[in-house]
Amino acid sequence: MKVSEILASPGKPFASLEIVPPLKGITKDELLDSIRPFARFKPPFINVTCHRDEYEYRSRPDGSFTRHIVSRRVSETAVCAAIQQEFDVEVVPHLICAGNTAEDVESRIKDFKFLGIENIMALRGDSLLGEKRFCPQPGGYRYASELIEAIRSSEVRYFCVGVGAYPEKHFEAPNMETDIANLKRKVDAGADFIITQMFFDNSVFYDFCDRCRAAGINVPILPGLKPLSTWRQVEMLPESFSIDIPQDLVKELSLHRDDREACYRVGLEWCSAQCSDLLAHGVRAVHFYTMGRPDNVAEILEKYF
């Protein structure tokens, strides 16, 4: 079933999830066991992120280096196939421009169709470590909008396509207006729904939705939430995702820097309050970034879904 059909069908609000494929070496059973805590909440769909290959430089006895391509994680296609087999849930593999030629993209699309997958999350991906700006693969796509056009020209309306959006602006965009105009390009290219980057202040999300609607973006916008659980995340997430963490939350967590249990509770309560407020504002679906940590998300699902 397509995500757009799920979102359009009447019913209670629901939670969807995003999981990151495990590092290679883990077994299928271990992967499925990490998803099992969510099964009883019956999320209608689970997104599976994809990760571009990385370069690794290995030294040789003569002092020179050789460059190797390394894919550290199990592919999104393999993870989707495993989830589909085990659980009654739609899967939404992510597909990125980064590191892929047009032929690579076409091949992935065909694999998704072979598996009966009806949804794709179309994203650009990011530069490699050390690259100053995003460089598409020769013969690949520069923007997510071009990737959507490729999906549409390959399969017209077979796939329901989701895209990413940034309530606090994408870090490369010169301003919010331009970023929203570029988001509109993705919708005009055929995107059916939008999932936002994580945010910790709901007023930022509501304001973003108003600006999108004013710009003529009329597809569903799903808020993305992530419960913080460690002080380390306060130090890392703003840089990794170009997001802001409200001062009240930072202050609260800073009181418990070395107390993991207390940090976990503070992050959980903040995210629970966000979730409750979104539902009170009539949001139909809340998307949770699990990032390999099922316990705190499962606690929130238990409370609200």
For residue 198, list its beta bridge partners. Answer: 224
**Rule CB under 6 A: is residue 267 a binding residue for ligand FAD?**
no
Nearer to ligand FAD, 263 or 285 (CB): 285
Nearer to ligand FAD, 164 or 190 (CB): 164
Q: Quick check: is 146 catalytic?
A: no
Give the span between the Cα atoms of 146 and 141, in whole angstroms.
6
Secondary structure of 249-264 in HEC code, one letter for each residue: HHHHHHCCCCCHHHHH
**Rule CB under 6 A: is residue 50 a binding residue for ligand FAD?**
yes
Rounded to a whole number of angstroms, the minimum distance from the CB of residue 13 to ligand FAD is 19
Give the span between the Cα atoms of 222 and 206, in whole angstroms.
11
Site size toward ligand FAD, by CB under 6 A: 24
Contact 24, 73 (CB under 8 A): yes
**Rule CB under 6 A: is residue 49 a binding residue for ligand FAD?**
yes
Q: Which residue is nearest to ligand FAD (CB)?
A: 164
**Rule CB under 6 A: is residue 245 a binding residue for ligand FAD?**
no
Rounded to a whole number of angstroms, the minimum distance from the CB of residue 188 to ligand FAD is 11
DSSP category for residue 131: -
Number of Cβ atoms within 10 Å of the Cβ of 9: 10
Find the part of the chain contacting ligand FAD (CB under 6 A) among 54-62, 101-109, 122-130, 270-278: 122-130
**Rule CB under 6 A: is residue 125 a binding residue for ligand FAD?**
yes
**Interstrand relation of 119-123 and 90-96 (parallel, antiparallel or unpaired):** parallel
Exposure string over 238-261, b if 16+ CB within 10 A, otherwise e: eeebebebeeebeebbeebeeeee
Give the span between the Cα atoms of 141 and 150, in whole angstroms.
9
Nearer to ligand FAD, 2 or 186 (CB): 186
Nearer to ligand FAD, 35 or 144 (CB): 144
The site string for ligand FAD over 75-94 (x = CB under 6 A, - otherwise) reads: -------------------x
Nearer to ligand FAD, 49 or 296 (CB): 49
Number of Cβ atoms within 10 Å of the Cβ of 281: 12
Query: What is the footprint of ligand FAD within residues 148-207 (CB under 6 A)?
Result: 164, 170, 172-173, 179, 182, 185-186, 195, 197
**Terminal-residue alpha carbon distance, the chain:** 21
Active-site option among 18, 76, 118, 168: 18
- In degrees, rounded to 5, the angle at the alpha carbon of residue 194 between the alpha carbons of residues 193 and 196 is 160
Nearer to ligand FAD, 79 or 195 (CB): 195
Give the span between the Cα atoms of 248 and 254, in whole angstroms.
10
The residues assigned a catalytic role are 18
- List of residues contacting ligand FAD (CB under 6 A): 49-51, 94, 96, 98, 123-126, 143-145, 164, 170, 172-173, 179, 182, 185-186, 195, 197, 224
